[in-house]
Amino acid sequence: MAFHGGDIETAAEQTGRTRWLDFSANISPLGVPDSVKQAIVQAAEHLSRYPDPYQRKLRRALAETHRVLPEQIVCGNGGADIIFRTLRCLRPRRALLPVPCFSEYEEALTEAGCRVTRWYLPEPFQITRSLCEALENGCYDCLVLCNPNNPTGSVIEPGLLESILETAKQKQMFVLMDECFYDMTEDPEEQNSCIRRIDAFPNLLVVRSLTKRYAIPGLRLGYGICGDVRRIECIRTTGQPWPVNTLAAEAACAALNDQAYQMQFREFLQQARPDLQQGLTQLGFQVWDSHANFLFFRAKGMSHLDLELQEFGILLRHCDTYPGLNADYYRAAVRLPEENAKLLSGLKSCLSAGACGGAQCLKGEV
């Protein structure tokens, strides 16, 4: 099983500590919207009935939100569920996978019997036009992309993305595009989202999730959007027949209608993300610009920074499990200002104590 952030139970077992400030999971610190809580309570009255196996109400709500057809949407038990079911359905033979990236892609491809070729993102961990050359020169039938990328937070330049999609289309290559963090980018109308391209590229499927923005990872709700309705139907019939439970379906509909929460989250992120980035930079870390609700940074020579922070009750995502990254890369979620201040204070204490070489190590002086 892949390693993830947000595993508070394991941290508690290892340390005996039960209260944590979790920067390892990229979840909205604003909490579950009241509208979602109310929808869950009301939906509980219907738990004696089976959920709708076709998710009709939910798909209509998603179709209205994204301005697509309900028939172009498949829903599942989180974004990872859509990824696994899609690849089980399509059974690609050889895939190109830019890394570092979300671990479930390679796990799902391997489970589907696909041979995976890793394409290592060149510094500063950004998709470049050389990816098109790799697609043109290789014999791939599947490409998996993440935009914004996890864990780097980088986005693909729109013109380059169009070239990649055109190349894949010409090569009759399926493209699985993970946009689970896209609603956090500075593109509120989503003009550059691949959802706008599904009709032009029927070989493209876009994966989305409501987990991060609405702080509902415990409910599990994800969906895929594709212009090819036959492919959507194939994915829908792959896996168990009730992938979305009643509570999750009603919660999702309420979240999609909560414009006030969406605005509040966007305003929060636009302020908190640059503030945290500035704080990390001032401490001497190398920090990458992010288009999601997390920051990717390097603490050169500090391979146990996550363990040091546990002494302060703070969980940080160590990125050494991502292909292409070593032990001094980390990812930190963007949380509330007072919580971000605690993270910065904990990091400063680690540096002052000389953990793993301290500030001098960061500056390359040891």
Does 53 lie in the same domain as 15? no
Q: 280 and 193 share a domain?
A: no
Does the residue 3 lie in any domain?
no
Residues 243, 271 share a domain: no
82 and 117: one domain? yes
Flag whether 4 is in a domain. no
Task: Give how far Cα 81 sits from Cα of 76, 92, 202, 246, 290, Å.
Answer: 6, 17, 21, 17, 26
Of 199, 226, 257, the domain-final residue: 257
Question: Is there a domain that residue 49 lies in?
Answer: yes
Task: Decide if 340 is inside a domain.
Answer: yes
pLDDT at 60: 98
Give the span between the Cα atoms of 215 and 17, in whole angstroms: 23
166 token code pair: 């055109």
Asked whether residue 5 is domain-assigned, the answer is no
The per-residue pLDDT for 228 is 98
What DSSP assignment string belongs to 86-111? HHHHH--SEEEEEES--THHHHHHHH
Q: How many domains are contained in the chain?
A: 2
Q: How far apart (Å, rounded) are the C-alpha atoms in residues 58 and 254?
A: 10
CATH number for the domain harbouring residue 180 = 3.40.640.10
Identify the domain boundary among 232, 257, 282.
Answer: 257
- What residue numbers bound the domain in which 310 lies? 11-26+260-362
Q: Last residue of a domain, which of 212, 241, 257?
A: 257
Q: Report the predicted TM-score, pTM, of the whole model to 2 decimal places.
A: 0.93
Residue 107 sits in the same domain as residue 228: yes
Together in a domain, 92 and 170: yes
State the pairing for strand pair 294-298/329-333.
antiparallel
Strands 174-178, 286-287: parallel, antiparallel or unpaired by DSSP? unpaired
Q: What pLDDT shows up at residue 19?
A: 84
Residues 235 and 324 in one domain: no
Indicate if 130 and 265 belong to the same structural domain.
no
Predicted pLDDT at 356:
46
Together in a domain, 295 and 238: no
Residue (of 120, 148, 113) closest to 134 by Cα position: 120
Q: Which helix (H) or strand (E) holds 249?
A: helix 246-257
CA nearest 265: which of 31, 34, 26? Answer: 31
Is residue 153 situated within a structural domain? Answer: yes
Q: Say what the pLDDT of residue 366 is.
A: 28
- Residue 336 in contact with residue 29, Cβ under 8 Å? yes
Here the tokens at position 27 are 């979840």
Instruction: Give the E-state strand segments of 141-237 in sequence order.
Output: 142-146, 174-178, 204-209, 222-226
Burial of residue 45 (number of CB atoms within 10 Å: 0-12, 13-18, 19+) = exposed
**Is the domain of 215 the same as that of 312?**
no
Q: Are 238 and 299 within one domain?
A: no
Residue 364: per-residue pLDDT: 38
User: Same domain for 54 and 151?
Assistant: yes
Q: Is residue 229 part of a domain?
A: yes
Say how far apart CA 174 and CA 143 lie, in whole Å: 6
The answer to whether residue 135 sits within a structural domain is: yes
Distances (CA, A) of 93 to 2, 98, 133, 232, 252: 22, 17, 20, 20, 34
CATH number for the domain including 338? Answer: 3.90.1150.10
Check whether the bond before 124 is cis (ω within 30° of 0): yes
Low-confidence ranges of the chain (pLDDT < 50): 1-2, 355-366
